[in-house]
Amino acid sequence: MSTELSYARGAASTDLLDETIGANLDRAVAAYPDHEALVEMATGRRWTYREFGSEVDAFALGLSAAGIGKGDRVGIWAPNCAEWSITQYATAKIGAILVNINPAYRTHELEYVLKQAEITMLIAAPKFKTSDYAAMITDVRPRVDSLKDVVLIGSQEWDGLVAAGRDADPQTLTAALASLHPDDPINIQYTSGTTGFPKGATLSHRNILNNGFNVGELCDYTPDDRVCIPVPFYHCFGMVMGNLGVTTHAATMVIPAAAFDPTATLKAVAEEKCTSLYGVPTMFIAELADPNFDSYDLSSLRTGIMAGSPCPVEVMKQVVSRMGMTDVTICYGMTETSPVSTQTRVGDTLDQRVTTVGRVHPHLEIQLVDPATGEVVPRGTAGELCTRGYSVMVGYWNNPEKTAKAIDSDGWMHTEDLAVMDDEGYVAITGRIKDMVIRGGENIYPREIEEFLYTHPDIVDAQVIGVPDEKFGEELMAWIQLRPGAEPLTVDVLREFATGKLARYKIPRYIHLTEEFPMTVTGKIRKVEMRDQSVKLLGLDTNEA
C-alpha cells in the first residue's frame, strides 16, 4: 500500500478571477462585441455579445426599476430558454440573488422554496409540456407572503420590465455594479439532504464565475468554441459549467431545446458547427441511438463534458469514435462546490476517463478522510472526499446548523461520497455515505419523499429506497406501513395522491406494504437489508452487476 496520503492541490496556470459576473460579461462584450454570444434553436433567435449585453442591461435596469436590489431573491422557474440566461446575468449585475427552481417541481416543492428563500419576484414560463406553471403559481401564491411580483416569460409584464429598463438611466446600473463584491452571494440552488426538505446551497460570484472559467480552461475553450448545452440551466451543469464556462471565454452558447431531446441536440451540433457538447451518460446514449445519427455532420465536435454518473466504456469509445469528441472530459462535483472539484484533462487515456473522475481542479484542494476518525487515508484506500478552496459555498440559506455540519472548522466541504485516489492523483468514486438514489442522473433523497408520504392520511410510516433498474440505473421503491383498517394502497392510488405535488421522478415506481421494517438492535432502519429483500421481491436479481 502507498505511504503517500490521499491529498492533492490543483496547480493553476492562470489566476482566479477577482471580479463579479457582471464585470466579467462586460469585459467579454467590450473585447468581442460582434462575436455570437447566444443561439436559441427553438426560436431561431441570435445575439452577438453587444446585443446580449444590451438585453441583459435592459432587463437588469427593469428589475431595478421594479424595486429589486442587492440581496433580494428572484426565483426562476422555467426550462432552458434565452430568457433564463438573460435573467441569470441581469440579476447578477444588480446583486439580486437568483433562486433556481427545478422545472419538474410541483406545488408542494414550489411553495417550500418560495417560502424558505423568501422570494420577492418569481420569473416563470407560463407552461411547459404537462406543467401549467401559471396555474400552480396561482394556487400557491396566497400562501407565500414574501412574493410580491410574478413575471411570466413572454408576457406583457416581461416586455414592460425590458421597456422600462431601456428608458432608465444607465448610471443606475453602473452604480449598482460598483457596489458589488465578488464574495457577495448571487445564487441559491436547492439540493436535498438525507433528512428533511431541500437545502439552499448559496453561491457567490467568486464561487461560480471561477468554477465555470476553470471548467472551460480544462476544455481549452477560446472565443472560437461553440458549446451545445442540452443540460438544464436550473442545475450547475447548465448555468455554471455551461453558460459561465462559455461567457468567461467569449465563446458561444447554443441552446438546442427547452429540455433534452436527442434529435434536437444532434441537429444543433450539426447546424451550428458546435465544438463542444455536454451531457450525462444517458443523454449521449440516446444521441448515439438516434435512428438518423449517421446523417448528422458532427465533424466540428472536439470536446465536451460528461458528468452525473460513471460512463460505460463502450459509450465513451463511441463518443470518441462516432461523435469525434477526442478531447471529451469527465467532471465530478456537487452543487455545494459550485460544482466541479475534479476533472479529467485533454490527453488523459480512455481508461482514466471511464474509471476515474480525473484530478483535482485548479486552485482547489481535495483529500480523502476516514469517515470515522477524520484522518487522511493513504492512497489506494477508500475515504470520504472533501474539497477546500474558492469553490466551497457561502453556506446553506438560513441554515447555519446544516452549514456547520457540511463545512468543518478548517474549511473542508464534506461530500459524503466515498472515493479512492491513485498514485497519480486520479480519483475514483466508489460509493456514497449518503442514502441517495440516482435515477437517470437525478439525485433523489429518500427522506424528502418520506416526509411527503407521511402527509397521506392512511400512512403510518414510510421508508424509501432505490432498487436496480436497467433504464434509469435506479428506481424508487416505498415500503409503507398503513394505519389499522385502512384500504390496501396501490401504486396507482399513490401516484394519484402525489401527482401535482411531487415531481414525477420522485414518485415511487414500486410499493411494498409491510407491518414492520428491518431494524438494528438500536432501532435504526436497515435500508441495505430492505434493498436486498426488495430485489428478491421484485425479481430484479438479474440486474445486479
DSSP string, 394-457: SEETT-HHHHHHHB-TTSPEEEEEEEEE-TTS-EEEEEESS--EEETTEEE-HHHHHHHHTTST
Residues 314 and 266: beta-carbon distance below 8 Å: no
Residue 487, number of CB atoms within 10 A of its CB: 8
Q: 465 has which bridge partners?
A: 477
Segment holding 330, helix H or strand E:
strand 327-333
Dihedral of alpha carbons 115, 194, 471, 315, sign: positive
Q: What pLDDT does 198 receive?
A: 86
- Reading the block at residue 191, the C-alpha cell is 439540493
- Residue 511 and residue 491: Cα distance in Å, rounded? 6
- The whole-angstrom separation of Cα 529 and Cα 73 is 43
| Pairwise CA distance, residues 422 & 382, whole Å | 10
Q: How far apart are CA 481 and CA 514, in angstroms?
A: 5
The predicted structure's pLDDT at residue 543: 42
Residue 358 near residue 373, CB atoms below 8 Å? no
- The backbone torsions φ and ψ at residue 265, rounded to the nearest 5 degrees and listed phi first, read -65, -50
Residue 228 contacts residue 356 (beta carbons within 8 Å): no
Q: What pLDDT, on a 0 to 100 scale, did the predictor assign at position 37?
A: 99
Per-residue pLDDT of the chain in tens (545 residues, 90 and over written 9): 568 999 999 998 899 999 999 999 999 999 999 999 999 999 999 999 999 999 999 999 999 999 999 999 999 999 999 999 999 999 999 999 999 999 989 999 999 999 999 999 999 999 999 999 999 999 999 999 999 999 999 999 999 999 999 999 999 999 999 999 999 999 999 986 444 578 999 999 999 999 999 999 999 999 999 999 999 999 999 999 999 999 999 999 999 999 999 999 999 999 999 999 999 888 998 899 999 999 999 999 999 999 877 777 788 889 999 999 999 999 999 999 999 999 999 999 999 998 899 999 999 999 999 988 999 999 999 899 999 999 999 999 999 999 999 999 999 999 988 899 999 999 998 766 666 788 888 878 787 888 789 889 999 888 899 999 988 989 999 999 998 899 999 999 999 999 999 999 999 999 999 988 887 554 557 788 899 999 999 998 754 43
Query: Of 481, 436, 418, which is closest to residue 454 (Cα–Cα)?
Result: 481
pLDDT score, position 194 = 40
pTM of the model: 0.84
Domains of the chain in start order, with CATH, are 21-420 (3.40.50.12780), 437-543 (3.30.300.30)
Q: What pLDDT is recorded for position 470? A: 87
Preceding amide of 468 cis, omega within 30: no
Cell numbers at 178, concatenated: 460598483
Q: Where are the alpha helices (DSSP H) in 132-204?
A: 133-140, 156-167, 170-178
CA distance 545 to 427: 22
The pLDDT score that the predictor gives to residue 13 is 87
What is the reported pLDDT for 524?
58
| Per-residue model confidence (pLDDT) at position 361 | 98
- Strand 199-204 to strand 149-152: parallel, antiparallel, or no bridges (unpaired)? unpaired
Which pLDDT belongs to residue 54? 98
Strands across the sheet with 7-9, in order? 7-9, 364-369, 383-389, 413-421, 427-432
Burial class (CB in 10 A: 0-12, 13-18, 19+), 543: middle
